[in-house]
A and B are shown apart, each in its own frame.
Chain A
Amino acid sequence: MPDLSDGCTGPFSRPCLAKRARLQIDPVSGKPVLLSQEAVILLNRTGYEILEQCDGTRSVAAIIDGLGTRYSIAKTTLTQEVSEYLEKLNQRGLLQWI
């Protein structure tokens, strides 16, 4: 598990969407979007699956394990990609940590 600088995105912390962000399906395209005051972020399927699990009850490690059962990707790759993805959204202030 990569050691992330501020510690809040470590493997055992539980992410959830920031109060100011909302996940939904775009009725026009049928695709998932992450909405906030300043942005409409179009998500791919994996991004949506990660964010769907960010409900404050699952740890980053649990989210990775869950995805591991659905995708045949090496654990180290999956760990790195999920961590980077969450960190990117964290930097944009779209996540909070329980």
Chain B
Amino acid sequence: MDLTHRPYGLLAELTYRCPLHCPYCSNSVRWEKPFELNTLEWKKTIQEASELGALQIGFSGGEPLQRTDLEHLVQVAREAGLYTNLITSGIGLTENRAARLLESGLDNVQVSFQAAEHDLADRIAGVPNAHKRKLRAAEIVNRVGLALSLNVVLHRFNIDSLGEIIAFAEDLGATRLELANTQYYGWAYRNRSMLIPTREQVEAAARIAFEARHRLAGKMKVLYVLPDYFANRPKPCMNGWGQRYLTVNPSGFVLPCPTAWEIPGLRFDTVRERSLAWIWKMSESFNRFRGTEWMPDPCRSCPQKEIDFGGCRCQAALLTGDPCNTDPACEFSPHHRLVREVADRRADHPAIDSFIYRQNP
């Protein structure tokens, strides 16, 4: 098998059910109530991913703890030799479940937090007492001896308290902290004018994160994900379409990227009808933007095309209406102003409760 062309990671979106309503949720806004894959279907999918070369699996959602077969699926993944990560809100994690997950071979738990301070955190999550329950979950993760990682999505309401967020993660005993500026797809796109920070906010946060990364090296790994809208070049999205990763959504549709469902006109295949290997190698969706042949100018003649792969197809589709276009985050895109002007059209003093909150299927 060609080692440069295999899915290293599988994102298993077990369910879109979720107790929270975060206004930046990356789940699709166009989602109908899914007919979720059952345990056997997931088991087959995980084993097929391993045969294709996957080495990592992220159990995600929605809230994956809503699935009662989560422990079993973790065990299946471990037996197939995968590194297993649980991406959770923490809501619903009891000591009993955490112990069972540890026993099943779970390698890491990533708990999301909305802020370091509970009132703000609950207002962002759209659920009372969410923060308190998350704190309890993080304590349980530590107590049973699982590795704890934290993820905080950044936006104008919490980015100024980044120092507090980092101290909060240290206090909780996290071994890794992912500070992810909001990416504007799905629900976040709907709330963009409220969520988008200023350039000054983003730059100040980057300095704080950079300092913390050095100060805490060896103790807590700090990652700061730069926001596309303030960059001059696009990110190498998914390390290239259909190159490294695959996502399976709750109904079994296989996507080259978790937000690809939003791309109009792209047809996806499901593990209910096809093998994962066929979908990875042969399907129209995985081959549509593979390599560089599909690229129009300015990407086609750009020396960066093997570095950033033209950026994000979902963002190109969302902002320009055509997924083939250069990602507007790139300064060479003729649509770059679509990104530049957004920062100037921020909502003035938005009330935090006026978000369009994420609805659940």
Q: Which residues on A are within 8 Å of B, measured CB to CB?
A: 6, 8, 18-20, 22, 24, 26-29, 33, 35-38, 40, 90-93, 95
Q: Is the CB–CB distance between A40 and B221 below 8 Å? A: no
Q: A19-B175, A20-B108 are in contact. Are A28 and B145 (CB under 8 A)?
A: no
Secondary structure dominating the interface of A: loop
Q: Is the CB–CB distance between A93 and B219 below 8 Å? A: yes
User: What total count of A-B pairs have CB within 8 Å?
Assistant: 59
Q: Is B158 an interface residue (CB 8 A)?
A: no
Interchain CA distance A56-B118 in the complex, whole Å: 38
Q: Is the CB–CB distance between B56 and A35 below 8 Å? A: yes
Q: Is the CB–CB distance between A28 and B56 below 8 Å? A: no
Secondary structure dominating the interface of B: loop
Q: Is the CB–CB distance between B8 and A6 below 8 Å? A: no
Q: Which residue of chain A has the shortest Cβ distance to B52 in the bound complex? A: A28
Q: Is the CB–CB distance between A22 and B83 below 8 Å? A: yes
10 A-B pairs with least C-beta separation: A20-B147, A93-B221, A35-B83, A19-B147, A28-B53, A90-B218, A91-B217, A20-B108, A37-B108, A37-B85
By a CB distance below 8 angstroms, the chain B residues around A33 are 55
Instruction: Return the CB mask of B45-65 against A: 1 if under 8 Å, else 0.
Output: 000001001011000000000
Instruction: Return the CB mask of B150-163 against A: 1 if under 8 Å, else 0.
Output: 00000000000000
Q: A18-B175, A91-B218, A92-B221 are in contact. Are A24 and B108 (CB under 8 A)?
A: no
Interchain CA distance A20-B174 in the complex, whole Å: 11
Contact of A28 among B6, B107, B147, B176 (CB under 8 A): B6
Nearest CB in chain A: distance from B47 CB, A: 12
Nearest CB in chain B: distance from A16 CB, A: 13
By a CB distance below 8 angstroms, the chain B residues around A20 are 107-108, 147, 149, 175-176
Q: Which residue of chain A has the shortest Cβ distance to B9 in the bound complex? A: A40
Q: Which residue of chain B has the shortest Cβ distance to A20 in the bound complex? A: B147
By a CB distance below 8 angstroms, the chain A residues around B149 are 20, 37
By a CB distance below 8 angstroms, the chain B residues around A37 are 56, 83, 85, 107-108, 110, 149, 176
Q: Is the CB–CB distance between A8 and B218 below 8 Å? A: yes
Q: Is B351 an interface residue (CB 8 A)?
A: no
Q: Is B180 an interface residue (CB 8 A)?
A: no
What are 21 of the A-B contact pairs (CB < 8 Å)?
A6-B218, A18-B175, A19-B175, A20-B175, A22-B107, A24-B81, A27-B50, A28-B6, A35-B55, A35-B56, A35-B83, A37-B108, A38-B176, A40-B55, A91-B218, A92-B221, A93-B176, A93-B219, A93-B220, A93-B221, A95-B218
